[in-house]
Amino acid sequence: MLTPPASDPSQGSLSDEAAHWCMRIHEADFSDQEREAFEAWLAADPAHRRRFETMLDVWSVSEHLPVEQPPLVPAPRSRRARRPLLAAALGLLAIPLIGLAGWHLNLVPDSYQRFSSEDAVRDITLADGSRVQLNLGSQLSFANYKDRRSVSLSKGEAYFEVQHDASHPFVVKAGQGQVRVTGTHFNVWTYQDQVVVTLTQGSVQVMGDRRHPNELVYLSPGMQARYDAGQTIAQVEPARAEEALAWRDGKLILDRARLSDALPRINRYLDTPVHLGDNATGQLQIGGIYNTRNIAALVQDLPKVLPVYLSHNENGDTVIRAKPRYAP
């Protein structure tokens, strides 16, 4: 078991202790005895918890250092291999001169934020002044670098009102691709590997696969782009803004949508996904306006409005199947 550095009132020593615990809790051999010591250390002083949370932010940022830079540690990057990376990041924070160099090299952000929304839509303001509305069950992080503002939408959906800064582009990473803007209003919806970007104001560049940075599409207001894994170029089409943004009012609008298209939007609000029994079932159409807090009731009521029945697969997930047609 590793022993944390001795406690000391200096800021440097406290950072060392917080860094020690940050690294230990991410190791597979973190023992119950160490966990008790860690909890006691947290409880000893409120400053311990504040500094530990800062170290967690540094740890998270270390996962998003630009891949085009020379690697700081040999690949592959395991959790143990990230120790030198974390130590380097901590050094950048602890020594002002080195920290300034890291900022100028676009390696270290000057601010980092994490947000999540579980059972309620959440309004947040990023460090650059941009405003974001998060849908239910969404997760987002923001890092402000010298040459860019970087957002990672790891789960869910968000509507962005970006503070304009032509020299400091705003980049949203979602799925395999990303959206790049300088100042505009747009919506990003994600589900598994699927991403849909809907533009309401301004203009955006959409990249369907970050491994192909030259394959860009440009959106104008009233248009949307969609892509998923393995799709290099996003598909552009007219947007139905009322449907795309209905979640901001707690609604899900389906306008004669095929079940195959509606199901990903329905599953976004369910704890366990609903599946289609076959392709023919997916061609059935559904319409209506539904409360996003009660989508489970929509699924249970499907047999009342469509010629389908519900069953369960071997995992216990609900499966929608079309009722068989019997010959007269």
Is 1 a domain residue? no
CATH number of the domain where residue 260 is located? 3.55.50.30
Domain stops at, among 216, 240, 264 = 240
pLDDT score at 179: 95
181 DSSP 8-state letter: E
- 193 phi and psi angles, rounded to 5 deg: -95, 0
Based on the domain organization, do 85 and 188 belong to the same domain? Answer: no
> What type of residue is 279?
N
pLDDT score at 232: 85
Q: Cα–Cα distance between 167 and 289 in angstroms, integer? A: 41
Helix 46-62 vs helix 32-44: angle between axes, to the nearest 10 degrees?
Answer: 120
Give the residue among 64, 66, 61 at the shortest CA–CA distance from 90. Answer: 61
Q: Cα–Cα distance between 47 and 17 in angstroms, integer? A: 12
Is 185 a domain residue? yes
User: If you average pLDDT over every residue of the chain, what do you get?
Assistant: 83
CATH number of the domain where residue 125 is located? 2.60.120.1440
Based on the domain organization, do 269 and 308 belong to the same domain? Answer: yes
Based on the domain organization, do 212 and 195 belong to the same domain? Answer: yes
Domain stops at, among 207, 240, 273 = 240
Average pLDDT score over residue span 100-106: 55
Q: What is the pTM of this model?
A: 0.69
Grade residue 299 by pLDDT with cuts at 50, 70 and 90.
very high
* Domain housing 261: 250-322
Is 279 a domain residue? yes
Grade residue 103 by pLDDT with cuts at 50, 70 and 90.
low
Domain stops at, among 240, 272, 294 = 240
* pLDDT greater at residue 230 or residue 197: 197
* Residue 283: count of CB within 10 angstroms of its CB: 12
pLDDT at 25 over 90: no
63 DSSP 8-state letter: T
Is 280 a domain residue? yes
Give the residue among 57, 38, 53, 51 at the shortest CA–CA distance from 9. Answer: 51
pLDDT at 69 over 80: no
* pLDDT greater at residue 222 or residue 75: 222
Number of independent structural domains in the chain: 3
Average pLDDT score over residue span 283-303: 94
Q: Cα–Cα distance between 15 and 21 in angstroms, integer? A: 10
Structure tokens at 62: 């270390």
Give the residue among 7, 29, 23 at the shortest CA–CA distance from 58. Answer: 23
Place of tokens 């959409």: 206
Grade residue 99 by pLDDT with cuts at 50, 70 and 90.
very low
Dihedral through CA 138, CA 139, CA 144, CA 145, nearest 10? -120
The share of the chain scoring above pLDDT 90, in percent, equals 55
Based on the domain organization, do 138 and 218 belong to the same domain? Answer: yes
pLDDT score at 47: 85
